[in-house]
Amino acid sequence: MPLIIERNDITKMQCDAVVNAANRLLAGGGGVDGAIHRAAGPQLDKACKKLGGCETGQAKITSGFKMPCRYIIHTVGPIWTGGGMGEPELLASCYRESLRLAAEYKCESVAFPLISAGAYGYPKEAALQTAVSEITAFLRGNDMTVYIVVYDRECFQVSRKLMKDVAEYIDENYIAEHFMARNSRAFIPDLQKGATPPPGKGAAGFFGSITQSRAVQRKEIPLADRANEEAPQSAASLDELLDCLDESFSQMLLRKIDEKGMTDVQCYKKANIDRKLFSKIRSNADYKPSKPTVLAFAIALELSLDETNEMLMKAGFALSHSSKFDVIVEYFIKKRRYDIFEINEVLFSFDQLMLG
Ligand code: APR
């Protein structure tokens, strides 16, 4: 996953380089700057003094000293004064210059804080958007793992409407399926067909319909008839399954990339998957990926829900409504919203694994 958003203390990140949100004097301070100077030890201060300061939007590099990283890249973000003094461009330059230095020093991994989003007052959501767009632009032409280390959840001002829609979707699907898994004896014909609880009632409506449906007697079908009744369908699904076994996940992925007119690079970059993992998948027809990896490719290829389920099945998975992660990803696929970073922000907000 070339871009990873992670909640952590940046001084704990074990990367090749950690980026410091510094000031123009490189004299240390509070926030990230203070934490890094404390973690790196007094030698960092001596090294900074030799650099002769740093202009806003620029970046300079020192050793990591006692920090668990080889280098510390010091960059100076703009002080927010409303956005009319070139702040967005200066902030973007901080990411570009820091990444340029990291590449120059052959770093394979870099961790960024949200530059300017603290004492310098830059609106957090705008700061995150600039970070994601500059880093993804860089990753289109470079192989590196980049972390955005967020310290507080408020960094994600995922739109209230989106969070509400996703929460309602989880409520209607996740609870229904989850509850049914624990109450499989309560045969509920209407919900078996995927119906959802009475609108607007969520769990309460669902539990209410359970009470009514418990009165429903299961339609008993003699075993022999049941087998015959289902035979044509099960025979067909068995053929389909056998047919599906002919094409592996890896083969379906490469076929879909061609069908979509994408290049391999475009696809794995859009899926937020690193080149090494993609080349493993490409070179091994029987490669078994993780479920988040399969779903990341489904999003990158903008697959329908049926195509996504087909691709999951080839890797030995299925979407399950007893998994909040699956329900959230299903929501975005059904809405045909394929921005992997928007999905990851919502997954992050629900404390779920991220795609890629
Ligand atoms: N790890 C990760 N993120 C952190 C940490 C930490 N240990 N400490 C703070 N943050 C987050 C803040 O929550 C904020 O979102 O980093 C972001 C940047 O905050 P600041 O450190 O205040 O940086 P900035 O807004 O760029 O202001 C820089 O503050 O510390 C002084 O000397 C520094 O003058 C400079 C100014």
pTM of structure: 0.72
pLDDT exceeds cutoff 60 at 192: no
Task: Check residue 1 and give its pLDDT.
Answer: 62
CA of 185 to the centre of ligand 1 (A): 54
Task: Check residue 172 and give its pLDDT.
Answer: 81
Kindly indicate the confidence band of residue 205, based on its pLDDT and cuts at 50, 70 and 90: very low
Atom 32 of ligand 1, nearest CA residue: 29
Span 212-234, mean pLDDT? 39
* Counted domains in the chain: 2
43 and 151 part of one domain: yes
Residue 47 lies in a domain: yes
Atom 34 of ligand 1, nearest CA residue: 23
Atom 7 of ligand 1, nearest CA residue: 9
Tokens of 123: 């609106």
pLDDT exceeds cutoff 70 at 164: yes
- For residue 127, give the ligand 1 atom closest to its CA: 15
Q: What is the Cα–Cα distance from 189 to 181, expressed in whole angstroms?
A: 14
% the chain with pLDDT above 90: 62
**Which residue type is seen at 148?**
I
pLDDT exceeds cutoff 50 at 234: no
Q: What is the Cα–Cα distance from 79 to 104, expressed in whole angstroms?
A: 27
pLDDT exceeds cutoff 80 at 242: no
Span 213-237, mean pLDDT? 41
132 and 274 part of one domain: no
130 and 270 part of one domain: no
Q: Are 156 and 188 in contact (CB under 8 A)?
A: no
pLDDT exceeds cutoff 90 at 229: no
Q: List CB contacts of 93: < 8 A, sequence separation 6 or more.
A: 57, 58
Tokens of 173: 């699907």
CA of 118 to the centre of ligand 1 (A): 5
Choice among 72-76, 107-111, 281-285 with the minimum mean pLDDT: 281-285
User: What are the phi and psi torsion angles at 353 (to 5°)?
Assistant: -55, 160
Task: Check residue 7 and give its pLDDT.
Answer: 84
Q: What is the Cα–Cα distance from 23 to 32, expressed in whole angstroms?
A: 11
Atom 14 of ligand 1, nearest CA residue: 118
Give 338-349 pLDDT, tens digit per residue: 999 889 888 988
Tokens of 222: 């003699």
Span 102-126, mean pLDDT? 95
264 and 335 part of one domain: yes
Task: Check residue 237 and give its pLDDT.
Answer: 60
Average pLDDT, the chain: 83
pLDDT exceeds cutoff 90 at 225: no
166 and 298 part of one domain: yes
Kindly indicate the confidence band of residue 175, based on its pLDDT and cuts at 50, 70 and 90: low
Using CA of residue 284, residue 262, residue 320, residue 166, what is the dihedral sign?
A: positive
E strands, 208-267, are: none
173 and 321 part of one domain: yes
Span 109-121, mean pLDDT? 96
174 and 322 part of one domain: yes
Rounded to 10 degrees, what is the CA torsion of 48, 54, 57, 63? -20
Task: Check residue 165 and give its pLDDT.
Answer: 83
- Enclosing domain of residue 149: 3-155
Q: How many CB atoms lie within 10 A of CB 29?
A: 16
Specify the 3-state DSSP secondary structure of 61.
strand
CA of 347 to the centre of ligand 1 (A): 24
Q: What is the Cα–Cα distance from 321 to 306, expressed in whole angstroms?
A: 15
Q: What is the Cα–Cα distance from 63 to 61, expressed in whole angstroms?
A: 7
pLDDT exceeds cutoff 70 at 217: no
Span 129-143, mean pLDDT? 92
Residue 233 CB-half CA count within 13 A: 5
The C-alpha angle with vertex 38 and arms to 120 and 78, in degrees rounded to 5, equals: 15
Q: Is 33 a catalytic residue?
A: yes
Using CA of residue 32, residue 38, residue 41, residue 45, what is the dihedral sign?
A: positive
- Residue 13 maps to which CATH number? 3.40.220.10
Kindly indicate the confidence band of residue 155, based on its pLDDT and cuts at 50, 70 and 90: low
Residue 38 lies in a domain: yes
Q: List CB contacts of 337: < 8 A, sequence separation 6 or more.
A: 343
Sequence length of the chain is: 356
CB-based burial of residue 177 (10 Å sphere; 0-12 exposed, 13-18 middle, 19+ buried)? middle
Atom 5 of ligand 1, nearest CA residue: 32
Q: What is the Cα–Cα distance from 247 to 255, expressed in whole angstroms?
A: 10
Q: What is the Cα–Cα distance from 347 to 355, expressed in whole angstroms?
A: 8
Give 284-329 pLDDT, tens digit per residue: 988 999 999 999 999 999 999 999 999 999 999 999 999 999 999 9
Residue 345 lies in a domain: yes
Q: Which residues line ligand 1 (CB under 6 A)?
A: 9-11, 21-23, 29-35, 77, 113-120, 149, 151-152
174 and 95 part of one domain: no
CA of 143 to the centre of ligand 1 (A): 27
251 and 125 part of one domain: no
**Of 303, 172, 316, 305, whose CA–CA distance to 244 is shortest?**
316
Q: Burial letters for 47-76: b for 16+ Cβ neighbours within 10 Å, e otherwise?
A: bbeeeebbebbbbbbbebbebebbbbbbbb
Q: What is the Cα–Cα distance from 22 to 37, expressed in whole angstroms?
A: 10
The C-alpha angle with vertex 289 and arms to 288 and 292, in degrees rounded to 5, equals: 150
Span 66-80, mean pLDDT? 97
pLDDT exceeds cutoff 90 at 270: yes
Annotated catalytic residue within 33, 171, 274, 326: 33
Task: Check residue 168 and give its pLDDT.
Answer: 85
- For residue 36, give the ligand 1 atom closest to its CA: 7
155, 190, 218 — which closes off a domain?
155
CA of 115 to the centre of ligand 1 (A): 7
CA of 222 to the centre of ligand 1 (A): 69
Task: Check residue 138 and give its pLDDT.
Answer: 94
Q: What is the Cα–Cα distance from 337 to 182, expressed in whole angstroms?
A: 32
170 and 100 part of one domain: no
Choice among 95-104, 208-217, 325-334 with the minimum mean pLDDT: 208-217
Q: Which residues pair with 110 in a beta bridge?
A: 17, 146
Span 254-273, mean pLDDT? 95
For ligand 1, pick from 23, 32, 148, 154 the residue to mutate: most ligand atoms within 8 Å of CB: 32
